[in-house]
Amino acid sequence: MSAARKRRRMDLARMPGAVAQGVDERFQVATPLRRLINKVYPDHWSFMLGEIALYSFIMLLLTGTFLALFFDPSMAETTYEGSYTPLRGIQMTKAYETSLNLSFDVRGGLIMRQMHHWGALLFMAAIVVHMFRIFFTGAFRKPREFNWIIGLLLFWLGFFEGFAGYSLPDDALSGTGLRIASAIMLSIPVIGSWATTSVFGGEFPGTEILPRLYILHVFLIPLILIALITLHIFLLVKQKHTQWPGPGRTNHNVVGVRMFPNFGMKAAGFSMIVFGTIALMGGLLQINPLWLFGPYRAEVVSAASQPDWYVMFLDGSTRLMPAWDIHIPIGDGYTIPALFWPTILLPGVLTILPMLYPWIEARLRKDRQAHHLLQRPRDVPARTALGAMAIAFYLVLTISGANDVVAEKFDISLNAMTWAGRVGLLVAPPLAYYVTYRICLGLQQHDREVLAHGVETGIIRRLPDGRFIEVHQPLAPLDEHGHPQIEYAGAPVPKKMNRLGALAPAVRGFFFPVEKPAPPTPVSPTPVSPAVAPAELEESREGR
């Protein structure tokens, strides 16, 4: 071997260490990296709903990139000569034509379109479900008010992003939606006509709106969305997640699992499941069949015309609004069209009020403390009932948005559906409030009752004097009066015997419940890292 030739031996085993050393020399990552890995996350199923939105968003970015490579938002007219024979020879815009190409002439284009659209619906659905979880458990309270506002902004950004997205293909259904959007802008007092002609670049529909919506949809709004989502998650990590009250949990700690490997693996698995769900829906459930709608024409409309579900509540409010124009008899006379109230004012109120709600509630409760422990919905009956009222209001509006579909499918008069919606909008929310309030109080009482008298065991005993009594299992040692000494701590009260013990079901299995109690989990006196074999550990022990 030549002495001049020196070869550095590649030691693969040492390579990760060498790389880590190199990175740390440059960026000093040791401490922050470990801090990240060791972050503790509480484990509860309702904390994973926001993740559904996050993973759907990632899916939207990926599928959207694919679609953007084939879509052309131009409104120039062309004649279709693609594969879908029932539209051959028809005049349409390039936007519609490229959407049809994606559906029929790009391999895999249709499933990408469908995954994108289902992903968008799932994104908004997850946001709504997550928002209600936050509301009902009080996670929006100090110090998380700002995150709450970011969440509301994310909802509205998603709303506009989705609206822009489904309007891009320029089909008859979404074109009708654009027409309604221009009418909504027109209805704004004073500036309405200017706003509409400015946005559309002239008369409706013009040739500018789709390219403008495209830039909004693929660039501007995703930019803001990514920034806000990053901020939202950053705040979550910085302030740490809230947790349910329970053993060992206080307002000043977080009890759970560390990020890696436990939480990270579960989160990664869940992300795959969400991706898989979107892909399965995208492949097996048809959505937005553009080719059946035809290209947008001002004289064409279909029965059963609705916007996507997250916009449907505004369609409902528009349908239910009575025909009340306001005429202002100054000068030539001015009009505030009836359309202004359900489409501009209502969403405005529905945005501002929830944004202010954390402070409104803090004021009403005279509560300035920071809260990291969640509240069970039953323990705050006023807030829960208010939330139920909001859900009732929202549901009446959303169902009214589809009232012609409901009327046709269930043989109900369309006029009756409209009136039912108008009346229901005023009657259902207070009813929901009252009923929910009473239910919350009832549940609270039951909790207190079990705490005071113990869990019903189901064992009936006959006393010598002939009475039957049920034996109750007290939850705490009895005091001199025979009452258990236990206070309600905000955690779920066990109501069944098989839940006693660790406040978790002792019944084993999610899919196969077994009537035997679970074996006690092995608690080793000497916690070991799984990477170390027991024999090694024994050895090291011996050595000391």
Taking CB under 8 A as the criterion, which residues in 73-92 touch another protein? 77, 83-91
Separation between Cα atoms, residue 87 and residue 96, nearest integer Å: 11
Residues in the chain: 544
Separation between Cα atoms, residue 2 and residue 480, nearest integer Å: 94
Q: Which of 62, 74, 240, 490 binds another protein (CB under 8 A)?
A: 240
Please report, for residues 128, 171, 180, the alpha-carbon distance to residue 155 in angstroms, rounded to integers and kept in the order given.
8, 25, 21
- Strands 455-462 and 468-473, by their bridges, are antiparallel
Q: Which is nearer to another protein, 320 or 454 (CB)?
A: 320
Q: Which is nearer to another protein, 22 or 108 (CB)?
A: 108
Binders in 168-187 for another protein, by CB under 8 A: 172-173, 176, 179-180, 182-184, 186-187
* Residue 167 near another protein by CB under 8 A: no
Q: Which of 293, 357, 393, 433 binds another protein (CB under 8 A)?
A: 293
Q: Is 15 helix (H, G, I), strand (E, B) or coil?
A: helix
* Residue 519 near another protein by CB under 8 A: no
Nearest to 156, CA basis, from 102, 110, 225, 61: 225
Q: Which is nearer to another protein, 22 or 202 (CB)?
A: 202
Build a one-symbol-per-residue string for 100-119: x at contacts with another protein by CB under 8 A, - elsewhere. Answer: ---xx--xx-xx--xx--x-
Structure tokens at 20: 């880590």
Separation between Cα atoms, residue 490 and residue 14, nearest integer Å: 51
Q: Which is nearer to another protein, 268 or 478 (CB)?
A: 268
* Nearest-approach distance from CB 507 to another protein, in angstroms: 8
* Residue 372 near another protein by CB under 8 A: yes
* Nearest-approach distance from CB 346 to another protein, in angstroms: 13
* Residue 543 near another protein by CB under 8 A: yes
Question: Are the C-beta atoms of 296 and 176 separated by less than 8 Å?
Answer: yes
Q: Which is nearer to another protein, 252 or 366 (CB)?
A: 252
Residue with tokens 């000391």: 544
* Residue 413 near another protein by CB under 8 A: yes
Burial 364-391 (b: 16+ CB within 10 A, else e): eeeeeeebbbbbbbbbbbebbbbbbbbb
Binders in 17-76 for another protein, by CB under 8 A: 34-35, 38-40, 43-49, 52
* Nearest-approach distance from CB 39 to another protein, in angstroms: 7
- DSSP notation for 512-530: S--SSBPPPPP--SS---T
* Residue 474 near another protein by CB under 8 A: no
Beta strands in 355-498 (DSSP E): 455-462, 468-473
Task: Centre a 10 Å sphere on the Cβ of residue 131 and count the other Cβ atoms it contains.
Answer: 21
Q: Which of 17, 22, 202, 517 binds another protein (CB under 8 A)?
A: 202
Question: Are the C-beta atoms of 242 and 139 separated by less than 8 Å?
Answer: yes
* Residue 16 near another protein by CB under 8 A: no
* Residue 226 near another protein by CB under 8 A: no
Separation between Cα atoms, residue 454 and residue 495, nearest integer Å: 8
Stretches 267-275, 388-396, 465-473, 483-491: which one binds another protein (CB under 8 A)? 267-275
Please report, for residues 165, 524, 533, the alpha-carbon distance to residue 529 in angstroms, rounded to integers and kept in the order given.
50, 11, 9
Q: How many residues sit in the footprint of another protein (CB under 8 A)?
A: 178
* Nearest-approach distance from CB 94 to another protein, in angstroms: 14
* Residue 255 near another protein by CB under 8 A: yes
Q: Is 277 helix (H, G, I), strand (E, B) or coil?
A: helix
* Residue 394 near another protein by CB under 8 A: no
* Nearest-approach distance from CB 252 to another protein, in angstroms: 5
* Residue 13 near another protein by CB under 8 A: no
* Residue 542 near another protein by CB under 8 A: no
Separation between Cα atoms, residue 510 and residue 176, nearest integer Å: 48
* Nearest-approach distance from CB 465 to another protein, in angstroms: 44
Q: Which is nearer to another protein, 151 or 205 (CB)?
A: 205
